[in-house]
Amino acid sequence: MKEKKSSVLIIGGTGRLGQHLAKFSLQLAHPTFLLVRDSAFTDPNKAQTLHFLSTAGATLLKGSLEDDESLIKAVKQVDVVICAIPSRQVLDQRLLIRVIKQVGSIKRFIPSEFGADPVKTQISDLDCNFYSRKAEIRRLIEAEGIPYTYICCNFFMSYLLPGLVQPGLKTPPTVKITIFGNGTAKGVFVKESDVAAFTISTVDDPRTSNKVLYLRPPGNIISMNELVEVWESKTGKKLEKIYVPEEELLKIIRETPYPNNMDMIFIYSAFVKGDHTYFDIESSVGVEGTQLYPHLEYTTISKHLDTLL
């Protein structure tokens, strides 16, 4: 007999990542609930997403992270809660964590992380509270004894890759390219829909209970030097390479006001400090997604670059 699929509540189902989470949850036959704010229905794009998802079988529940009654009602109906709210709001998950604790029946909570591992990054004084807030949420979840999975997918493919890791650029440069540091540290890019597929696969998987799921798919791990090489071989054109040493990048970051310096901070973290890949995954703490789910197909960096030609 097939195991019953856990029911899943997604908070942030109208968002960039959240809509993919909702789609995969439905696709993998999880009874799927979305907590939706009233305002989402008045935004034409979000209303369309919600119409699509509800037609596909999602149950829409009105509520928000600030409204404890709506949270209690929603959390009571499901086995698993996944939160995909924007990073600047991660501390707004504190009420949700209290509600999950109070309701007491949640089998898995996946908080809004979906980036580099917040306890492994090495950018301490440049953090701008980005990773420290995510780490604070981890401490709260663990202190309450709530079963969790943290998803460390590293960079989304729509972030930085379309501009070949040039701050502020949305399309590949055609003449010159800036390489930060010596260009050898390796970062990881994963397409949002693939992040969602790996995330939903963890929901009923005991191997991911109280673990970090890292995504380091072969074909998706690349240094800036390699990225330029791959791009040049695809276009058949050489780019002029300008190397910006670590000290110079740090100076620019410090002189650029927040939040305009955030792209450079993320580049510094991934492609100078190597924060996506400098450490081995300890089996007591984490698991790697493509090793757990070898059947899942994903978009490689090379395939994604082909779409930019």
Q: Annotated active-site positions, please?
A: 134
CB of 157 to ligand NAP, least distance (A): 8
Residue nearest to ligand NAP (CB): 15
Q: Which is nearer to ligand NAP, 79 or 194 (CB)?
A: 194
Single out the segment in contact with ligand NAP by CB under 6 A; choices: 108-116, 232-240, 253-261, 296-304: 108-116
- To ligand NAP, the closest distance from the beta carbon of 151 in angstroms equals 9
Q: Which stretch binds ligand NAP (CB under 6 A): 13-21, 102-110, 231-239, 241-249?
A: 13-21
Say how many residues touch ligand NAP, by CB under 6 A: 30
The residue range among 64-72, 197-205, 244-252, 301-309 that interacts with ligand NAP, by the rule CB under 6 A, is: 64-72
* Tokens standing for residue 136: 């604070």
CB 257 within 8 A of CB 263: no
Beta carbons within 10 angstroms of residue 170's beta carbon: 9
CA distance linking residue 5 with residue 93, whole number of Å: 25
| Site of tokens 């949850």 | 25
Q: Could you tell me where the DSSP H helices lie in 189-300?
A: 192-202, 224-235, 246-255, 262-267, 289-292
Q: Which of residues 117-156 bind ligand NAP (CB under 6 A)?
A: 153, 155-156
| CA dist 226 → 149, 166, 233, 274 (Å) | 32, 15, 11, 14
Instruction: Yes or no: say if 126 and 265 are a contact pair by the CB < 8 Å rule.
Output: yes
- One of 8, 9, 22, 40 touching ligand NAP (CB under 6 A): 40
Identify which of residues 188 and 239 has a Cβ nearer to ligand NAP in the complex: 188
Q: Whole-angstrom Cα distance, residue 114 to residue 300?
A: 18
* In contact, 83 and 93? CB cutoff 8 Å: yes
Give the nearest distance from C-beta 154 to ligand NAP in angstroms: 6
* Contacting residues toward ligand NAP, per CB under 6 A: 11-18, 35, 37, 39-40, 46, 64-66, 84-87, 89, 92, 112-115, 153, 155-156, 159
